[in-house]
Amino acid sequence: MKRRDFLKSASALAASGVCAPAVFSPARAQSRQETLLIVSESGPNNIDIHGVGTNVPGYEVSWNCYDRLISHEMKTGPNGVPYYDRDKFKMELADDMNVGDMSVTFMLKKNAVFHDGTPVTANDVKWSLDRAVTVGGFPTFQMGAGSLTKPEQFVVVDDNTVRVDFAKKDRLTIPDLAVIVPCVINAGLVKKHATEKDPWGMEYTKQNTAGSGAYRVVNWTAGTEVVMERNDKWAGGPLPKVKRIVWRMVPSAGNRRALLERGDADISYDLPNKDFVELKDAGKLSIVSTPYSNGIQYIGMNVKQPPFDNLKVRQAVACAIPYQKIMDAVLFGLSKPMFGAPADAKTEVAWPQPHSYNTDIARAKQLLAEAGYPNGFETTLSFDLGFAGVNEPLCVLTQESLAQIGIKTTINKIPGANWRTELNKKVLPLYTNVFSGWLDYPEYFFIWCYHGKNSIFNTMSYQSKELDAMIDGAVDAAAVGDKAKYEKDVKGFVELAYADMPRIPLFQPYVNVAMQKNVSGYQYWFHRRLDYRALTKG
């Protein structure tokens, strides 16, 4: 590198505020050895999973700072990386789990304490689960996906025992207790900060952790940095090896890559795919790529608003998407195509699976003319700026392709902290988003994304009583083991979704993680975020 180029690079890094010499000076080498520095494009907007509009980075804080009654065992994934086992559970705050016909009873670990030293009791568990099913929005819908809907379902048996009563037989109920939402909160602490207008203390937990998890937040500057320290009294599992987590927001992908290559940062997981490919080829870092479980990136259309209420318009858009260009120029092969299935391909009892559309501009123009828009129309194409590395070039390529059929789009960049709120208003006419179902079942994905009844992520405002009936039918059939009906309903709702095409699957993304060679213990989880508890630094 020429001297002027080196100085220019160094100046850019200094201006971004990512060098942090005070943390990594030789005088603090031991501290550096015990600290894991993570750099990412964006960070949490709320550290309470029950909060309104909590974004995906917020999940990472909650997962590591709070416990749940149960969690998942690990298995070996398709790429040899530890991967959560959907069907096997392990105890976290619970010491024992007894599943009955219409209830499950948990005995709590007697040595479990919250970060302030207060013992974890059955009353804390009940209060926390009551909160989850009551606050509304995403957490309440998530609980409902496992038929957990009423506070009356959570019963304190004694100080150390809590029972969860089933509303009905539902195979999603037990797995739903292992996701991020049913975390156990220090009820006594949070109640001190509750008010008449805020009975669940959500203003307090928005910026303060009140859990019993392996880590606790000691400093959070929104949009800049989250600092977490290990809870040495954690009872939920083996004590983590890393004492301190510094998670820094570095918007520039070039700066994140430079920090990794210089050895100043330990992990980054949202670099552009091109960088991951180049870093893997260079061989100086460990690069792990894992397909999202039960997840797709898609183009969504609001089917209640003209012109996207017209099926032929939606079909025209599906024909105009530059699928392969996106795969090549944006993803560099690090994803699985969800397009171009042969016309005679049989629908599988699986999700995700590809649709049959390919890029066909002539067909798209024809469909648009048949829909009554021979000259096209104008609209906006929105994306989450918090994940601009993929979203922005994807939208630019889509904008260029839609222009060929007369659809003029203005790209709308929504800040990551506001994305969920804007998306859930269900007013965006055209947008790209990624959704990955935490429970890896086809019906679970469709409950969230296609069901017409109060579905948070049915952001297309799609309504189909026929499709709803098949989703509900698959849930009921799975609960009683009716395999034939289950398979019929799953195939049925996939086929109908692709016939009506309210959203256009593009690809199944990969979680790409770059780590220093001395960092090990990475595990893939359904939420796609880092689990610090298993990470080690040599």
Three-state SS sequence of 58-112: HHHHHHHHCECCEEEEEEECCCCCEEEEEEEEEECCEEEEEECCCEEEEEECCCC
- Under a CB-based contact definition with an 8 Å cutoff, are residues 202 and 135 in contact? yes
pLDDT band, very low/low/confident/very high, at 23 (cuts 50, 70, 90): very low
- Which residue reads 């992990």 in tokens? 267
Q: In this structure, what are the phi and psi dihedrals at residue 287, rounded to the nearest 5 degrees?
A: -120, 125
- Under a CB-based contact definition with an 8 Å cutoff, are residues 66 and 183 in contact? yes
Whole-number mean pLDDT of the chain? 93
Specify which residues 245 forms β-bridges with. Answer: 36, 228
Question: Which helix or strand (DSSP H or E) is residue 432 part of?
Answer: strand 430-436
- Under a CB-based contact definition with an 8 Å cutoff, are residues 164 and 177 in contact? yes
Nearest to 433 by CA among 407, 409, 414, 446: 414
For the stretch 2-7, contacts whose Cβ atoms lie closer than 8 Å and that sit 24 or more positions apart, written own/partner, are: none
Determine the pLDDT at residue 538.
87
Q: Would you tell me how many other CB atoms lie within 10 Å of the CB of residue 422?
A: 18
CATH of domain 12-63+192-291+511-537: 3.40.190.10
Q: For residue 93, give Cα distances in angstroms to 70, 110, 124, 178, 458.
A: 7, 9, 12, 11, 33
Structure tokens at 302: 């609001």
Q: Is the pLDDT of residue 247 over 60?
A: yes
pLDDT band, very low/low/confident/very high, at 4 (cuts 50, 70, 90): very low
pLDDT band, very low/low/confident/very high, at 486 (cuts 50, 70, 90): very high
Q: What is the mean pLDDT of residues 285-297?
A: 96
3-state secondary structure of 183: coil
- Under a CB-based contact definition with an 8 Å cutoff, are residues 483 and 489 in contact? no
Could you report the per-residue pLDDT of 366-391, keeping only the tens digit for each?
Answer: 999 999 999 999 999 999 998 998 99
d(CA 330, CA 327): 6
Nearest to 464 by CA among 505, 437, 507, 503: 503
Q: Is the pLDDT of residue 92 over 50?
A: yes
d(CA 510, CA 280): 15
Q: In this structure, what are the phi and psi dihedrals at residue 160, rounded to the nearest 5 degrees?
A: -115, 5
Could you report the per-residue pLDDT of 115-160, keeping only the tens digit for each?
Answer: 999 999 999 999 999 999 999 999 999 999 999 999 999 999 999 9
Q: Is the pLDDT of residue 5 over 60?
A: no
Sequence-ordered list of residues with C-beta below 8 angstroms from that of 244, at least 6 positions apart, any chain: 31, 34, 35, 36, 227, 228, 229, 230
d(CA 90, CA 69): 9
Specify which residues 369 forms β-bridges with. Answer: none
Eight-class DSSP state of 326: I
Determine the pLDDT at residue 30.
60
**Range(s) within the chain of domains with CATH label 3.10.105.10:** 295-509
pLDDT band, very low/low/confident/very high, at 269 (cuts 50, 70, 90): confident
CATH superfamily of the domain spanning 295-509: Dipeptide-binding Protein; Domain 3 (3.10.105.10)
**Range(s) within the chain of domains with CATH label 3.90.76.10:** 84-188
- Under a CB-based contact definition with an 8 Å cutoff, are residues 299 and 317 in contact? yes
Q: What is the mean pLDDT of residues 291-305?
A: 96
- Under a CB-based contact definition with an 8 Å cutoff, are residues 512 and 40 in contact? no
pLDDT band, very low/low/confident/very high, at 3 (cuts 50, 70, 90): very low
Determine the pLDDT at residue 8.
40
Counting every residue written for the chain, the total comes to 538
- How many helices (H) and strands (E) the chain has is answered by 19, 20
d(CA 429, CA 411): 12
Q: For residue 48, give Cα distances in angstroms to 39, 217, 231.
A: 21, 11, 18
Kindly calculate the radius of gyration of the chain based on its CA atoms and give it in whole angstroms.
24
**Range(s) within the chain of domains with CATH label 3.40.190.10:** 12-63+192-291+511-537
Determine the pLDDT at residue 85.
97
d(CA 130, CA 140): 10
d(CA 186, CA 71): 19
Angle between helices 253-262 and 273-282 (to 10 degrees): 20
d(CA 444, CA 504): 18
Determine the pLDDT at residue 109.
98
Angle between helices 3-16 and 253-262 (to 10 degrees): 110
Q: Is the pLDDT of residue 46 over 90?
A: yes
Mean pLDDT lowest among 12-21, 104-113, 241-250: 12-21
- Which residue reads 């996939």 in tokens? 494
Dihedral (CA of 457, 461, 467, 473) sign: positive
pLDDT band, very low/low/confident/very high, at 33 (cuts 50, 70, 90): confident
Determine the pLDDT at residue 204.
98
pLDDT band, very low/low/confident/very high, at 29 (cuts 50, 70, 90): low
3-state secondary structure of 142: helix
Alpha helices in 348-458 (DSSP H): 361-370, 388-403, 416-424, 442-449
CA angle 424, 182, 416 (to 5 degrees): 35
d(CA 521, CA 238): 13
d(CA 376, CA 430): 15
Question: Which helix or strand (DSSP H or E) is residue 165 part of?
Answer: strand 161-165
Task: Give the CATH class of 84-188.
Answer: alpha beta
Could you report the per-residue pLDDT of 185-238, keeping only the tens digit for each?
Answer: 999 999 999 999 999 999 999 999 999 999 999 999 999 999 999 999 999 999
Q: What is the mean pLDDT of residues 510-515?
A: 96
